[in-house]
Amino acid sequence: MPNFASLIKASRPLHVYGSGDQTRTFCYITDAMNGFLRVITDGGPGEAYNIGNPKPEISMVDLVETMEKVLGRKIDHRLMEYPDSYPADEPQRRCPDITKARRQIGFAPNVTLEEGLRRFLGWTDRTYTGDA
């Protein structure tokens, strides 16, 4: 997300790797911090918890479209081959299962993807310099 924001601020095209069909989920920082604090205060000793937001699971191409909707303008983007630095087995899907965290520590993310993007992109517009 920071790379996308830097490129947007610099008015440079976003690089979407592969077909752009790979899916990801995004968790806003306040939700993540709430989850981490719940693990510290309410989690079982030695227990592991997935903290994240499983919804929406979105393709990278659809993420660009959602960013365009939030910004109210088109964003130049290009599908690119994966660089050699990417692992050969780069996962096509990343989506956390937060069932255990929801049941045991009451974790539930509250910030929607669109609202999180609105907040994040507003902040980056005010603070990023455009050096990408």
The identity of residue 69, as a single letter, is K
Confidence at residue 44, expressed as pLDDT on a 0 to 100 scale: 96
Select the CATH number that applies to the domain covering 2-126 from these four: 3.40.50.720, 3.40.50.150, 3.30.420.40, 3.40.50.620. 3.40.50.720
Question: If you average pLDDT over residues 114-118, what whole number do you get?
Answer: 98
Nearest-CA neighbor of 54 among 123, 2, 13, 100?
100
Give the lowest-confidence range in 1-10, 19-28, 67-76, 88-97.
88-97
Residue 47 token pair = 């227990």
The domain segmentation of the chain, as residue ranges, is 2-126
**Confidence class for position 132, pLDDT limits 50, 70, 90:** low
The model's pTM: 0.88
Ramachandran assignment for 97, one of left (phi > 0), alpha (psi -120 to 50 degrees), beta (any other): beta
Q: Poorest-confidence range of 2-6, 47-51, 64-68?
A: 2-6
